[in-house]
A and B are shown apart, each in its own frame.
Chain A
Amino acid sequence: MLLAAREAQSEGRRVALAYVETHGRAETEALVHGFTIIPRWQVAYRGVTLEEMDLDTVLSEHPDLAVVDELAHTNAPGCRHARRYQDVEELLEAGIDVYTTLNIQHVESLNDVVAQITGITVRETVPDQILEQADEVGLVDLPPDELIQRLHEGKVYVPDQAHRAVDKFFRPGNLAALREIALRYLAGQVDHQMRAYMEAHAIPGPWPAGERVLVCIDADPLGERLVRTGRRVAAGLDAEWIVLHVETPEYATLPEAARDRIARTLRLAEELGGRTVAIPGTRASEEIIRYAKAQNVTKILVGVSHHPRWIQFIHGSVVERIMRGAGDIDVIVISAATDRPRAPEGAKVGPVLYHPAYLYSAAVVALAVTVSAMAHGVWAQANLTMLYLLAVVIVAVEWGRGPAILAAALSLGAFAFFFGPPSFTYTVADTQYLVTVAALFVVGLVIGTLASRTREQAQAARSREAYMAALQALSGELAATNDLDAILQAVGRHIGSTFGRSVAIFLPTGDTLEPRLVTPGFPLTENERAVADWVFRRGHNAGYGTDTLPAAAARYIPLKTAQRTVGVLGVQPSESGPRLSPEQRRLLGAFASQAALAIERVELAEEARRGDIARETERLQTALLNSISHDLRTPLATITGALTTLCDRAAPADEAVRRELLLNAKEEADRLNHLVGSLLDMNRLEAGTLRLRSEPGDVEDLIGAALAQLGEAAERREIRIRVEPNLPLVPMDFALVTQALVNVLDNAVRYSPPETPIEVTARLVGDEVQVRVEDRGPGIPPGDVDRIFDKFYRIQHDGGRHGAGLGLSISHGIIDAHGGRIWAANRPEGGAIVAFALPVRPAVSSDAAAGSRSGAPEPEPAGEGSRTRGWVTPGRAS
């Protein structure tokens, strides 16, 4: 390894020795010379100073290549990861190449093979995936004798440890076997690479077609071996492999240790790259067959069960039933080593005699005895038997198998004692009674078993259903909202209620990860935040109950979507609560991915919205610039033209021509002024800086002011004004609404023939005053009625002069700001109507009526004032 590293260094790559064990040997020391050596991290543990690789320094130094010895090493407590291979994974993810070494006995899937051969179970194993990820695996091969010799010479281990190691492990036979395993393993890898190459280059060959291996485990300690074997079989076949656990009703009654073992086995399978599945079912064999067929499994791996013969005789063997039902599927049976003692198990949680159910059972039988004693002689013997049967059945249905057996036994005794002749003895004279009694016993047993099984299954289904319901409730709630805070609250609440734990959710804010939701009781310390941060950067679980940073108080789960990690979920274990079962972990994982999706959805929506706004703004700005440059240049061109003509020495002498030119220039200057005014208004409206100086205003006055402002354009046209008498004053910013009306009128003047009249009507409708402006022009193209208030909208028409397309949009903005409405329509007789309505009473929240002592307009006193108001301009009354 060091030689290879030296070669890399000579090629110009930056090489650092992150962790190299020289064992104080001169030969190795010499090799180390000339490299950058990253100092080790000193960890104090129980009074001993341990040396570990300084992961953070290596990461910050960021060499091209790091040399890390002993991949299988277990880190001292206090390190970030439990195992060195996890450190190496982190280095690889940071883009640092790694050279490392590993002994063959430390490969996870070979673990039990090695144990079989050497009799020593190696604890420090490395998942096979790590090896499979390696770009290159080189084999350091030595004949066993030579190795032992090197060992004795102290080239492999430090001498004082060497002899013990040799005696225990490095026997020639062991070494030969290990050598074979190593060679085979590597051969397998090479084969795999070759096939991958052939596939990649479309070389035809006998590819294994869709093999799928199903490994069935239960609480038996054999499970881990099954999983390892399954992995090897699957790897050999290049097949997918699934580890299945059927949660039979007995699962609920298993002791904690056994359930933990199942969880561990499933976790091991996950670590080895297998898919794990847990399904509920009554009979394991049936569920396994059903699942295998549904999933197109080609090979089933089962372990031989350890039940005593007689139990197998009654229940039948699971393995046998699988083999019988497997059909085309190959069944591989693994048996436990015969000399291995059964692992001690905790007491089964099950029938215990002081359990209240047994007391109830006895009570029911006692009741039956009492009733039958009273009915004795009145009822026939057979009916009395039925009474006992009834008692047994009731007990069986209510409390299950155990109490039912007790009830049957008690009934049997009582019946024999009280009623079987001779009475009050346990002697049964008539063999007939034996039949009765036996039937009683069997019926009790059968019903009890059935009832308890049904109940247990119902319970399993209930808990599963509860999980599903929890998940569904969460996803329902998440789907219903687009608000990030609401989503976080929902996730916190659901996880809290399902797992009874305190929760924190961290989301990235800028460059840092900030807690966005922390439920009470969550230990949000600096350390915990660091763990969360690590999880966010790496996208792996960490913290309590995992192999990474297990000293943390909470478990941290990355909120991952297909694209990225959006945040981190921290879940604190409840104080005395049990560890998470695989099912709970899976549910938590499901919660996490739901949350991640919801968070991502919100973020994407937000991004999209921002993008939309940006695009829309850009589009408007472009339109604005185009419009402005056009609208500003046209009048400027006219003005410049007129003025240059007049400035010219050869200016036209004709006074009429000169005057025409000047008038033209003046008109265009007015137009420019109008446009600049509109742009200013628009800007004020859009910037939101518009402050309404609202005061009660007279609508008739408004119309007059608008016409005056319109100036000549209005004077040249016939404008018919109809103002309903006794209109109340309307709260408004008079100058702004005047501008709004000017724009509407300007529009009518612009888009209708000069000889046609324009009608302006004002009247009270409900509690708003409506002002309508009607022209006799071509009207608004159908479909554009709603668009005429859009910015830069202009009706295409022949000749005439265009506005900037801002006027009505400004009117719209002004009327909106007053809490009024503006709309457009076409007259049935031809021409357009643009109308707006302002509420007579100001909105409560408005800052209106700033200067008005009485907010509501006063009704005009009847009398002389109103007498003179009326239809002031001839026109049709409506």
Chain B
Amino acid sequence: MGDTGPRVLVVDDEQAIRRFLRASLTSQGYRIFEAASAREGLEAAAAVRPDLIILDLGLPDEDGVAVTRRLREWSKVPILILSVRGQDEDKIAALDAGADDYLTKPFSMGELLARMRVAMRHAAQPADEPVVTVGELVVDVARRVVTVGGREVALTPVEYSLLKTLAAHVGRVMTHGQLLREVWGSGYASDGNLLRVNISKLRHKIEADPARPQYIVTEPGVGYRLRMTA
């Protein structure tokens, strides 16, 4: 692969993290660029034009949320947020500001690679896919039909809309605010009840065991994610 692999900019002030990401990601065919501060990161983002940015929330000069906002002013490059526990609010703020997904340190390499792939695929194919298949769940957006194991599931318009939105961002986390805005409109952005009740109803219709969901997984305190592979 050499010089042709996707270009990844790692913005993290911890040298150990950068070193380990460089070693692991290079072996996966990525080309790695490093920045140790928000300023360096923004400069590198403009200079390198990376295909993906891995951005740490806690940078010495400026926090990751602000960096995300400034990147989003001119770029649609997929951004993966690296956070630690206890940064829930910043995490959500970064996602709402346009970051594509997040990972909590420590994370496994498998998780990181999966998130990276999802983020880059969404960036490459912004158009809705007509059919989303996750295990036995098939969401046929063109025909407005949802089946589980071949059996059609009857959904209310709201439930369908919710599932469609999750499917459109399959593999990516959707914050509560994002889901509410997309499904109900911006006026409902803070109505947690609506979302939770409908997620619960949706799970009871599509999940084999709603208490241990396989398709729609909860990201505690952040939102929901339609899993890529069940």
> Do A and B actually bind?
yes
- Residues in chain A within 8 A of chain B (CB atoms): 669, 673, 677, 680, 684, 693, 695-698, 700-701, 703-705, 707-709, 721, 723, 729, 733-736, 738-739, 760, 851-854, 857-858, 860, 864-865, 868-869, 872-873
CB within 8 Å of A: which of B73-92? 85-86, 88-89
21 of the cross-chain contacts (CB-CB < 8 Å) are A680-B85, A680-B86, A684-B86, A693-B88, A697-B196, A700-B210, A701-B218, A705-B220, A707-B211, A723-B211, A735-B88, A738-B220, A738-B221, A739-B220, A851-B176, A852-B190, A864-B154, A864-B156, A864-B201, A865-B201, A869-B204
CA distance A531 to B201 in the complex (A): 80
CA distance A723 to B196 in the complex (A): 16
Instruction: Given A680-B86, A872-B211, verify A729-B218 contact (CB < 8 Å).
Output: no
Instruction: Given A868-B205, A869-B204, verify A705-B218 contact (CB < 8 Å).
Output: yes
User: B212 an interface residue at 8 Å Cβ cutoff?
Assistant: yes
User: B185 an interface residue at 8 Å Cβ cutoff?
Assistant: no
Query: What are the 10 tightest A-B residue pairs by CB atom distance, in nearest-first order?
Result: A735-B221, A868-B204, A735-B220, A705-B218, A695-B192, A738-B220, A721-B211, A851-B190, A865-B201, A698-B196
Residues on A with C-beta less than 8 A from B204 are 865, 868-869
B76 to chain A, nearest CB (A): 28
A-B pairs under 8 A by CB, number: 94
Contact A669 B192 (CB under 8 A): no
Residues on B with C-beta less than 8 A from A677 are 85
CA distance A760 to B209 in the complex (A): 14
State which of A698, A704, A854, A864 has its C-beta within 8 Å of the C-beta of B212: A704
Contact A703 B211 (CB under 8 A): yes
Contact digits for B19-33, partner A, Cβ 8 Å, 1 yes 0 no: 000000000000000
Contact B197 A858 (CB under 8 A): yes
Contact A853 B211 (CB under 8 A): no
Query: Other CB < 8 Å A-B pairs besides A698-B197, A708-B218, A735-B221, 20 of them?
Result: A677-B85, A680-B86, A698-B196, A698-B199, A698-B200, A703-B211, A704-B212, A707-B211, A721-B209, A736-B221, A738-B220, A852-B190, A852-B191, A852-B192, A864-B201, A865-B200, A868-B201, A868-B204, A869-B204, A873-B209
A447 to chain B, nearest CB (A): 92
Contact B221 A734 (CB under 8 A): yes
Residues on B with C-beta less than 8 A from A853 are 190-191, 193
User: B50 an interface residue at 8 Å Cβ cutoff?
Assistant: no
User: B98 an interface residue at 8 Å Cβ cutoff?
Assistant: no
CB within 8 Å of A: which of B165-211? 176, 190-193, 196-197, 199-201, 203-205, 209-211
Instruction: Given A684-B86, A700-B210, A721-B212, verify A729-B201 contact (CB < 8 Å).
Output: no
Residues on B with C-beta less than 8 A from A707 are 211-212
For B, the interface residue count at a CB cutoff of 8 angstroms equals: 30
Contact A709 B220 (CB under 8 A): yes
Residues on A with C-beta less than 8 A from B221 are 693, 733-736, 738
CA distance A585 to B156 in the complex (A): 89
Residues on B with C-beta less than 8 A from A703 are 211
Residues on B with C-beta less than 8 A from A693 are 88-89, 221
Residues on B with C-beta less than 8 A from A669 are 106
CA distance A696 to B199 in the complex (A): 13
Residues on B with C-beta less than 8 A from A729 are 193, 196-197
Residues on A with C-beta less than 8 A from B88 are 693, 735
A31 to chain B, nearest CB (A): 80
CA distance A116 to B192 in the complex (A): 104
CA distance A760 to B199 in the complex (A): 21
Residues on A with C-beta less than 8 A from B192 are 695-696, 851-852
Contact A857 B193 (CB under 8 A): yes
CA distance A872 to B212 in the complex (A): 10
User: B114 an interface residue at 8 Å Cβ cutoff?
Assistant: no
CA distance A735 to B85 in the complex (A): 11
Residues on A with C-beta less than 8 A from B106 are 669, 673
Instruction: Given A704-B212, A852-B190, A873-B211, verify A860-B197 contact (CB < 8 Å).
Output: yes
A608 to chain B, nearest CB (A): 36
Contact B193 A852 (CB under 8 A): yes
Residues on B with C-beta less than 8 A from A684 are 86
Contact B213 A858 (CB under 8 A): no
Residues on B with C-beta less than 8 A from A854 are 193
Residues on B with C-beta less than 8 A from A869 are 204, 210
